[in-house]
Chains A and B, each alone.
Chain A
Amino acid sequence: MAKDILEKPESFYKVFERKSGSNKLTSHYCPGCGHGVIHKLIAEAMDEFGIGNRSVFISPVGCSVFAYYYFDCGNIQAPHGRAPAVATGVKRALPDSIVVSYQGDGDLAGIGGNEILHAANRGENITVFFVNNAIYGMTGSQMAPTTLIGQKTTTTPYGRSVKNEGYPIKVCELLSSLEAPVYLERVAITDAKNVMKARKAIRKGLQNQVEGKGFSLIEILSPCPTGWGVKPVEAKKWVEEVLAKNFQLGVIKDKTAEAVPEVIEQKKFTSEEISKILGASKNGSDFLYDKPDVKTNYQNPRIKISGFGGQGILFLGQLLSQSAMRSGYHTTWLPSYGPEMRGGTANCHVIISNNRIGSPLVTETDVLFAMNLPSLDKFENDVRKDGLILVNSSLINRNVKRNDVEVLYVPATELADEVGNTKATNLVMLGAYAAKSKIFSHDCVLFTANETVKRKEFLKVNEEAFRKGMEYVLNNKQKENKEYDSVIFN
Chain B
Amino acid sequence: MKLFLKGNEAVISGAILAGCKAYYGYPITPASEIAETAAKYFPLVGGTFLQAESEIGAINMCYGAASTGQRVMTASSGPGLSLKQEGISYAAGSELPIVIVDIMRGGPGLGNIAPEQSDYNQMVKGGGHGNYKLIVLAPNCVQEMCDLAILAFELADKYRNPVAILTDGFIGQMMEPVELPKPVENIPAKNWKVGGDAETKKNLISSIYLDFDELEEHNIKLQTKYMKVEESEVRFEEIHTEDAEIILIGYGIVARILQSVIEEARAEGIKAGLLRPISLFPFPKKKINQLANKAKLFFVCEMSNGQMVDDVRLALNGKKPVKFYGRMGGVVPTTQEILNKLRVLDASLQNEDSFADQLTDSYLKI
Contacts and interface: CB of A to CB of B under 8 A. Distances in A.
B352 interface: no
Interface size class of B (residues with CB under 8 A): 35 or more
A274 B331 CA distance: 39
B204 A77 contact: yes
Interface in A8-24: 18, 20
B275 interface: no
A268 B112 CA distance: 41
Contacts of A77: 94, 204-208
Interface stretch (B224-232, B254-262, B307-315): B254-262
Interface in B292-343: 332, 334-336
A169 interface: no
A358 interface: yes
B4 A76 contact: no
B247 to A, nearest CB: 16
A344 interface: no
Interface stretch (B45-53, B119-127, B156-164): B45-53
Contacts, number: 237
B180 A92 contact: no
Given A266-B46, A274-B17, A359-B335, A92 B94 contact: no
Contact of A275 (B44, B72, B114, B182): B182
Contacts of B27: none
A360 interface: yes
Interface in A444-470: none
B1 A321 contact: no
A363 B60 contact: no
Contacts of A82: 56-57, 60, 63, 87
Given A77-B205, A285-B1, A334-B173, A85 B334 contact: no
Nearest to B182: A271
Interface string B1-36: 111110000000100110001101000011000000
Interface in A346-376: 356-361, 363-364
Contacts of A356: 259
A408 B17 CA distance: 45
Contact of B53 (A114, A267, A286): A114
Contact of A89 (B54, B67, B90, B185): B67
A277 B45 contact: yes
B114 A76 contact: no
Nearest to A281: B40
A284 interface: yes
Contacts of B177: 325, 330-331
Interface in B43-102: 44-46, 48, 50, 52-54, 56-58, 60-70, 72, 86-87, 90, 94
B205 A75 contact: yes
A75 to B, nearest CB: 5
B169 interface: yes
Contacts of B69: 93
A93 B65 contact: yes
Nearest to A65: B208
A200 B330 CA distance: 59
Contacts of B205: 75-77
A118 B24 CA distance: 14
B197 interface: yes
A73 interface: yes
A294 B196 CA distance: 63
Given A268-B46, A337-B29, A363-B334, A284 B3 contact: yes
B194 A86 contact: no
B189 interface: no
Interface in A61-101: 65-66, 68, 72-79, 82, 85-94, 96-98
B45 to A, nearest CB: 5
A333 B201 contact: no
A267 B48 CA distance: 12
B176 interface: yes
B175 A321 contact: yes
Interface in B196-228: 196-198, 200-201, 203-208, 210-211
B41 A277 contact: yes
Contacts of A74: 194-196, 200-201, 203
Interface stretch (A37-45, A48-56, A246-254, A477-485): A48-56
A75 B29 contact: no
Contacts of B204: 18, 68, 75-77
A357 B335 CA distance: 12
A274 B183 contact: yes
Interface residue SS majority, chain A: mixed
A89 B62 contact: yes
A271 B65 CA distance: 22
A114 B24 CA distance: 16
Contacts of A53: 197-198, 201
Nearest to A85: B60
Contacts of B46: 266-269
B150 to A, nearest CB: 12
Interface in B179-194: 180, 182-183, 185, 194
A332 interface: yes
Interface string A86-122: 1111111110111000000000000000110110000
B183 A361 contact: no
B13 A86 contact: no
B208 to A, nearest CB: 6
A89 B90 CA distance: 15
B206 A75 contact: yes
Contacts of B356: none
Nearest to A91: B64
A26 interface: no
Nearest to B181: A275
Contact of B17 (A93, A114, A268, A278): A278
Contacts of A73: 201
Given A279-B1, A282-B3, A85 B182 contact: no
Nearest to A86: B64
A90 B334 contact: no
A93 B21 contact: yes
B41 A278 contact: yes
Nearest to A57: B194
Contacts of B170: 334, 360-361
A68 B260 CA distance: 56
A469 to B, nearest CB: 22
B174 A92 contact: no
B201 A72 contact: yes
Closest 3 pairs (CB-CB, A-B): A89-B64, A97-B196, A358-B260
17 contacts: A82-B56, A89-B60, A89-B72, A90-B194, A92-B61, A93-B70, A98-B196, A114-B57, A325-B4, A325-B177, A334-B170, A334-B173, A339-B113, A358-B335, A359-B260, A361-B335, A364-B335
Given A115-B57, A285-B1, 18 more contacts: A74-B201, A75-B203, A85-B53, A86-B67, A91-B64, A92-B61, A93-B64, A114-B57, A117-B53, A274-B16, A277-B41, A277-B45, A325-B177, A337-B29, A358-B259, A358-B260, A360-B176, A361-B257
